Structure formats: C-alpha cells, structure tokens
Amino acid sequence: MPQSVVGLKVAIMLAVIGAVIGEFVGADAGLGYLIMVSSQQINTALAFALMTLLSLMSIVLFYIMEWLERLVSPWAEEQP
C-alpha cells in the first residue's frame, strides 16, 4: 500500500506538468496558455507569478497526498 501512495505522489506532480505542457501546445485558456502569452508579450512579472502559482499548486497537492498516505496507512513509518 505505501508503494502505491508513493507512485501517486510522483504522478500528481507529473500530472500538473503534463497539464501545463498540454496547454502550451493546444489550448486557448489555462495557466499554461497564460504563461505562453505573457512570455510573448514580454510580461515577465506575470509569467513568474503564474509559474510560482503552479509550483505552489504542485506543493499543496503533494502534501495532500502525504496527508492521505498517513491517513490510509498509519502503520508505515518513514525510514531515516
């Protein structure tokens, strides 16, 4: 059980990256699209703000998975 939760933690990070790449390629809305548009318009502040938002979103999702891991498998302790 703990191995599958570790896989989910990795997958959730890659899902955010995949969604942004998908928006880079073929979307007309979303955070990835806004990053592309702000980069083309040389709006660096907006591009960095959006990348920071995406980073925070990934971190929050990772820690939600961490919490779920503790909830689902309390017997699995972290190894030093």
Does residue 77 form part of some domain?
no
How many structural domains comprise the chain? 1
Q: Confirm if 32 and 22 have CB atoms less than 8 A apart.
A: yes
Q: Confirm if 12 and 61 have CB atoms less than 8 A apart.
A: yes
What confidence tier does 5 reach under pLDDT thresholds 50, 70, 90?
A: confident
Residue 33 to residue 50: CA distance in whole angstroms: 10
Given a cut of 80, whether residue 40 has pLDDT beyond it is yes
Q: Span 54-62, mean pLDDT?
A: 89
Domain enclosing residue 59, as ranges: 2-72
Average pLDDT over the chain reads 84
What is the per-residue pLDDT for 65?
Answer: 86
Does residue 63 form part of some domain?
yes
What is the per-residue pLDDT for 31?
Answer: 82
What is the per-residue pLDDT for 32?
Answer: 84
Does residue 67 form part of some domain?
yes
Residue 15 to residue 58: CA distance in whole angstroms: 9
What confidence tier does 2 reach under pLDDT thresholds 50, 70, 90?
A: low
